[in-house]
Structure 1
Amino acid sequence: MNRYAGQRCFILGNGPSAGKVDLHTLKGETIISVSNGYLHADYAEISPRYHCVPQITYGRMTEQDVVAWFDEMHAKLGGAELFLNETEADLVQRHGLFPGRVVHYVALRESFDELKKRSIIDLTNPIPRVESVPVMCLITAMYMGFSEIYLIGVDHDHFKTEKYDYAFRLEAQAGKDFSVSTDGKVLTSWYDDFQSLARLWRQYRVLREIAEANGVSIVNVTPGGQLDEFQRGNLKVLLGGSR
């Protein structure tokens, strides 16, 4: 905890808006990437320090699919430390995955709706389950002590576009998401999707309240997107003013 007290970090999401950002400008910054984010064109150059993967939903994804995905991930992550849910620990051990890499396991067991205190969430204890991986990243970043956290490529706009797109082409995970068609069209009903979005927005609201209670600034510098729980900023202005 507090390894990076007073410092800033960037959470790099996989939304299509990230494709409009010159990621080269993030070189030298502390970056947390997510899920398939190692497929970003400039990933190797910006060299994220941490990578988060939330609990895995098995459906179209079999155990062998996950092994293939993790093998692809390991080959492209560079030196990033990895955060996984505890449910994947046995699979990683049995298949000898991520050799030589630092892997941290979190226990995604609790509920955000039952979280009454607004203190920094302790990663060494069971933590709330997340609706989307940027939520996991925000929990992790605040635990590590970052006082300025910037979100990039966190679009959450598929309910308007009716498609779930990425800033890159999927490889090992292509076609494995049961909630979308192979061309990215959302397959779940709006009723079910809006229930999920309501949970997600409540989680972001709680994290904003935790940040405000602990002197942490969370700024959304995503160009576009629908996430409105955090103040907006401009990445070019931010980096231009600091270099």
Structure 2
Amino acid sequence: MKTADKIKNIFQTTGDSLASIFKVALMSRRLSPSASRKDSTLIIMGNGPSLREAIDSHGDVLEKYDLLSVNFAPLSADFFSLRPEMHLLADGVFFQPDAPGNVAEMWSALSKADWRMSLYVPVKYRSCLALKTLPSNIKVRYFNLTPASGWGWLVRRLFRSGLAMPRPRNVLVPSLMTAIREGYSRIVLTGADHSWSKSLWVTDNNRVVTVQPHFYEDNEKERDRVESLYKDIRIHQIYESFSIAFRSYFAVKDFADSEGVEILNATPGSFIDAFPRTRLELLG
């Protein structure tokens, strides 16, 4: 690396570090201490289309391990058959009073869960009224969505304390960081297709169209919500967002490695290239 590049990198890292400290001081809240090492496996179920095959072909494997589901998963019958120990919401749309799409239906379905479960939500939404309507068997726990980067020692300390995380472009980033803080020694990703670029195009009117298929079938109301969300988005903004997401997984991996936590990706055809691959059937 040239001297000029080294100097530029030093200034960039220092700037990122100072900005991270400022954001944490302004936005983050202290959380309860992280759990002790469980020496056990957690399977995180993303909502990508490949999860359908995973459930149908390897449901017996999923049932052997602790599970974490995300977002609209409670709207599927599989949520109630698999009975995940953890569910995580990160997108602010879930906490809007009159949110569009299937948000109200998701809260209604979640409240019907009759087993002990931990629901993880961003601490900044702790006053959301929907949280107060949940049954007592669902314990609400919190995490900070504050992004941080910069000096390695500082970032690791902020991540370990739960005060910050890599930029949470996708719900799987807070899911992975939560799983690490919960003390799991091995974390396995399923349904983490992230093959968004396959279903992205631009119309002759320069309208960006993106289709984000899930393991369950979205209804018209949810499709209308997503279409409305992307109506003013440009193609370069979408690819920039993709870049942030994929880069964040490498930051997650670096932190997991420093904590002695193994993250494996058991999603066939996944575009995430940060984690070693495996297959669900190999978990046994």
Q: Bigger CA drift: 77-86 or 156-165?
A: 77-86
Deviations 1:199-235 (A, max 9, x none): 1112101011111222211100012221111111111
Report whether the alignment pairs 1:167 with 2:212.
no
> Which amino acid is the alignment partner of residue 132 of structure 1?
N
> 1:187: how far off?
7.6
Listed as ranges, the matches of 1:8-47 within 5 Å are 8-21=41-54, 22=57, 23-47=59-83
- Hey, what does 2:92 align to over in structure 1? 56
User: Secondary structure of the residue that 2:127 maps to in structure 1?
Assistant: helix
Structure 1 residues 67 and 168: alpha-carbon distance in aligned structure 2, compared to 1, 3 A threshold: closer
Contact persistence 2:148–2:167 (CA under 8 A) = yes
Listed as ranges, the matches of 1:66-145 within 5 Å are 66-76=103-113, 78-92=115-129, 96-100=132-136, 101-109=138-146, 111-114=147-150, 116-117=152-153, 119=156, 121-122=159-160, 124-145=162-183
> 1:8: how far off?
1.1
Contact persistence 2:46–2:192 (CA under 8 A) = yes
Report whether the alignment pairs 1:236 with 2:277.
no
Give the TM-score, by structure 1 length: 0.82
> 1:188: how far off?
3.7
Q: Distance in 1 between matches of 2:150 and 2:35?
A: 25
Q: Distance in 2 between matches of 1:31 and 1:200?
A: 22
The CA RMSD over aligned residues, in Å, is: 2.9
Identical amino acids, percent of aligned pairs:
22
Q: Distance in 2 between matches of 1:189 and 1:77?
A: 43
> 1:123: how far off?
5.4
Q: Distance in 1 between matches of 2:182 and 2:176?
A: 10
Structure 1 residues 45 and 68: alpha-carbon distance in aligned structure 2, compared to 1, 3 A threshold: closer
Larger Rg: 2
Report whether the alignment pairs 1:211 with 2:256.
yes
The aligned length equals 232
- Hey, what does 2:269 align to over in structure 1? 224
The gaps in structure 1 that reach 5 residues or longer are none
Listed as ranges, the matches of 1:147-186 within 5 Å are 147-162=185-200, 163-170=211-218, 174-175=222-223, 177-178=225-226, 180=227
Deviations 1:39-83 (A, max 9, x none): 34432232110111004148xx85133555323322247432100
Q: Where in structure 1 do 4 or more consecutive aligned residues deviate above 4 Å?
A: 126-129
Report whether the alignment pairs 1:6 with 2:39.
yes
> Which amino acid is the alignment partner of residue 73 of structure 2?
G
